[in-house]
Structure 1
Amino acid sequence: MSRNWAMLITIMFAWMADSGDSLLYSYVLGSVAKEWNITPALAASIGFLPMAAAVVGGPLFGFIADKYGRKKSLLSAMFLVALSGILVGISQNPTQMVLSRLLVGLVLGGIWTAGMTLISEIWDPKSRGKAVAVVQVGFPLGYLYASILTYFVSPSFGWRGAYIASAIPSLLIFIAIWFFVNESPLWLKTKGEDKKTKAKAQSVSIQELFQKQYATKTLVASLIAFLGMYGYWAVMTWIPSYLAVVGFNAKNIPLWTFFILSGAVVGYLTHGTIGDRYGRKKAFGLFFLGTAIFTLVFGLLPVYLAKAYNQDVARTSVVLIGPILSFFTGYFSGYGAYYAELFPTRIRGSAVGFCFNVGRIGTSIGPGITGALAAFFGVGGALAIASISFIISAVLIFLLPETAGISFEADTKSISS
């Protein structure tokens, strides 16, 4: 068990480095816009639109995970995290930034796909949700990681220095994966059976995910991932800007942003526990509704208080409401276990990679849409509009089968729906 925990923590840090590399852009967006004399909305687009590359990266690294192994997929993705940080840091114009962020998008899909598939396969089914939730804690730790780089590195070395510095931890984590992460025994068993029967290890095609027995799961799971990520990034990317609107000191915004998002740590672990005990669908439904409600409150109430009273009251409301909103974004910790449980071992990496990373389209367009809406409704109003995506997700989740506690042993067929 100690070896499994070492793997769990290592993959959590891999996800932290990967997500931190992406989240760092939220902090430096203004600096990029100023250096290249472009609007914040355009800066957001060139930084986040390439995240849609995860739609390709997820299935790509899922294919690698299914054909060559979960560990090899994880290693290759982690190496590219370090490379992408360097390339973003040396970008000299918007075109180079877009190309560099395309690589970031590919890798963002890869780390999550390989890591979540591996942990889901090695862990006890009764506590699989909690284990995946621990890995997902790497996401808010990514905000801490990005906040530290912004707070300590950016003042002296600028946004470029912060990105180049991010490559060092990524390389160290690559080495840790090499030594502390084992291949999935379930994947090895599946490949061993292929060799015994002299059957060729066939690649998984995207078309197979849309065969009759998988089509509904693939479509609904992909749409839920899209809506969940669109809403999250439409809101969270603009929190630093929103804090500026309600009067927070610019120097301290990275630290206040991390404080607000720290509620996600508790939310992730809570969602995993509820999912294991009461079912995946109930946990998702509860957290999607909670996110919808508090997105509305977070977007509208501080703005109202600033006008009706003063900015001190508005700032206080942000500090109180923000961590609660962040807590309910804990639904992210459920994707890994739930999506892995929906599909059999032979196609699990490819299916999980495809369904989850279709959601990255939402990641890529959410920040830009919020920026456009903010011109008409203000930042707070634009954030509130994003709540619609969470309400729809809360309904859609009940179209999928319940899977909590399912065993992966000898899963030659998908669970019945």
Structure 2
Amino acid sequence: MLNIASRIDRLPSTPMLRKILFLCGIGWLFDAMDQGMVSGVMAAIGKDWALSTGQLGMLGSSAMLGMILGAALSGMAADKWGRRAVITVTLVIYGLASGLSGFSVNYPMLLVLRFLTGFGLGGELPAASTLVSEFSPTKIRGRNVIILESFWAWGWICAALVAYLLIPVYGWRIGFWVGAVPALFAAYLRRVVPESPRYLELLGKDKEADELICKMEKEAGVTNTLESSDTEEQINNVHVSFADLWSKKYIASTIVLWVIWFGLNFGYYGFVLWTPTLLIGKGFALVKSFEFTLIMCIAQLPGYASAAYLVEKIGRKKVLVVYLLGTALAAWLFGHAGTVNQVLIYGCLLYFFSLGAWGCTYAYTPEVYPTIARASGSGWAAAFGRIGAFIAPMIVPVIYSAYGKAAGYTNVFIMLTVVFVVVAIVVGVIGKETMGKSLEELTD
């Protein structure tokens, strides 16, 4: 074998790696822009089509249902047919469905298109994070994946700007159209993204893997002095089944990841999709609620930056626990906010900690499975997590309506606080540390 992993791990950041990170990140940005747009659309379309809170909840959940299926299938597809193909095809599906959503003539049509949009979005994220993780050297692997995730913040900021500046003037349809065309262009640019060398090595395509690493070594000014052989090992079965993820070898990692993904999805989508609507319920105007959301979204950037720094200094496990507990505290405070300043301060803290936790989760997830199971394991974890994202937008309006606007608002965030605390405990007790270890060392 060509010792591809060892050669990757001794490299610094190279132009090829930065290019891959940027092109994957651009697609991530438009995925996030779509999700953020739904938050603004829900508040606007509810008035335009006179939808009930239950219908609005289903609108938020329909994309999540697509994400569940997309994440599960794309993870297995990425392990079988490659990471590169999946991140391109899923972005095309997302872009087309998002653009068509703007032409919806009725509620059922929009639900179907939101499902397809979610399918593409859910399929892309696990495959993209797996690709970046496998291309990254050990010492900057976690940081790179969090940088990839940080494009999510820029997408939400773009969505908040569109919601604040365009939707009140041109209507909710403009939100879907603004992001669709650039997303399809990003998919076109991704044609130049190479396949993961670790995956190529697993397939027995040693020559292709070696050519990629040689190019990166040349960019870094590194000479390959590691031993290699001319023997190619063809591996026909390069994917694992769903049942394999629950075998003795993987079960502990699978349980921890599923708890993290479910809890973080439930808690995060429990508040982000409903923030403008909940703020309107507290007496703020639609445009004002969009303004608040935009300010809160900006707080995501230092959240990602701090997590990217700390994840390579104190470890994934500690960062996850700290940021999950920080999210829990911020959710509690936000639920009890009574003034404009409190809404903004606690809201910014909520976005700061929750997105830092998200970044660390994406960095941690691909590290606990071997190459043969990495995309499948990540995909199924994301798929199970999206179940939480699917049911949260439906549970929130039930609690909100049952207790009235004032008490309902507070009780929604008390529920979310409990969820974040439980996930932090599970990570602290069962989770394993992966900082500073090669992917092969972690998964042998």
Deviations 1:108-134 (A, max 9, x none): 221211110011111121121111111
Q: Aligned with 1:200: secondary structure?
A: coil
Give the deviation of 1:202 after TM superposition.
Answer: 4.1
Give the deviation of 1:7 after TM superposition.
Answer: 1.6
Distance 1:155 1:92 in 2: 19
Distance 1:41 1:359 in 2: 22
Q: Which residue of 2 aligns with 1:192?
A: 204
Distance 2:358 2:234 in 1: 40
Give the deviation of 1:246 after TM superposition.
Answer: 4.0
> Aligned AA for 2:139?
K
Q: 1:37 aligns with which of 50, 73, 80?
A: 50
Give the deviation of 1:193 after TM superposition.
Answer: 5.8
| Mapped pair 1:124 → 2:137 | yes
> Aligned AA for 1:184?
S
Q: Which residue of 2 aligns with 1:307?
A: none
* Correspondence 1:121-200 to 2 at 5 A: 121-179=134-192, 181-192=193-204, 196-200=232-236
Distance 2:346 2:286 in 1: 20
Distance 1:336 1:37 in 2: 38
Q: Aligned with 1:278: secondary structure?
A: coil
Q: 1:399 aligns with which of 385, 410, 430?
A: 430
Q: 1:264 aligns with which of 296, 300, 322?
A: 300
> Aligned AA for 2:430?
L
Distance 1:242 1:83 in 2: 30
* Correspondence 1:230-309 to 2 at 5 A: 230-302=266-338
Q: 2:373 aligns with which of 337, 347, 351?
A: 347
Distance 1:199 1:170 in 2: 35
Gaps of 5+ in 1: 303-313
- Root-mean-square deviation (CA, aligned residues, Å) is 2.0
1:66 and 1:349 in contact (8 A); partners too:
yes
* Correspondence 1:315-330 to 2 at 5 A: 315-329=340-354, 330=356
Q: Which residue of 2 aligns with 1:364?
A: 390
2:90 and 2:123 in contact (8 A); partners too:
yes
Deviations 1:357-416 (A, max 9, x none): 31111111112211111111322331232111000001111312211122135x6x825x
Give the deviation of 1:36 after TM superposition.
Answer: 2.9
Give the deviation of 1:336 after TM superposition.
Answer: 1.8
2:23 and 2:189 in contact (8 A); partners too:
yes
1:16 and 1:138 in contact (8 A); partners too:
yes
Give the deviation of 1:156 after TM superposition.
Answer: 4.5
Distance 2:197 2:238 in 1: 19
1:113 and 1:353 in contact (8 A); partners too:
yes
2:60 and 2:273 in contact (8 A); partners too:
no
2:296 and 2:344 in contact (8 A); partners too:
yes
Using the aligned pairs only, state the percent identity. Answer: 28
1:300 and 1:384 in contact (8 A); partners too:
no
Moved more, 337-346 or 51-60: 51-60
Deviations 1:176-206 (A, max 9, x none): 2123x22211111111269933441344211
1:51 and 1:104 in contact (8 A); partners too:
no
Give the deviation of 1:63 after TM superposition.
Answer: 1.8
Gaps of 5+ in 2: 1-13, 207-230
Q: How many residues align?
A: 401
| Mapped pair 1:77 → 2:90 | yes
Give the deviation of 1:37 after TM superposition.
Answer: 2.6
Moved more, 76-85 or 379-388: 379-388
Q: Which residue of 1 aligns with 2:443?
A: 414
Distance 1:357 1:138 in 2: 21
> Aligned AA for 1:324?
L
Moved over 4 A (4+): none
Moved more, 212-221 or 238-247: 238-247
2:97 and 2:114 in contact (8 A); partners too:
yes
TM value normalised by structure 2: 0.85
Q: Which residue of 2 aligns with 1:308?
A: none
1:269 and 1:333 in contact (8 A); partners too:
no
Distance 1:74 1:182 in 2: 11
1:222 and 1:358 in contact (8 A); partners too:
yes
Q: Which residue of 1 aligns with 2:363?
A: 337
| Mapped pair 1:384 → 2:420 | no
Q: Aligned with 2:171: secondary structure?
A: helix
> Aligned AA for 1:400?
G
2:99 and 2:180 in contact (8 A); partners too:
yes
Give the deviation of 1:252 after TM superposition.
Answer: 3.7
Q: Aligned with 1:201: secondary structure?
A: coil
Give the deviation of 1:140 after TM superposition.
Answer: 1.6
Moved more, 284-293 or 28-37: 28-37
Distance 1:365 1:399 in 2: 26
2:72 and 2:382 in contact (8 A); partners too:
no
Q: 1:213 aligns with which of 244, 249, 255?
A: 249
Distance 1:146 1:165 in 2: 9
Moved more, 97-106 or 223-232: 97-106
2:157 and 2:297 in contact (8 A); partners too:
no
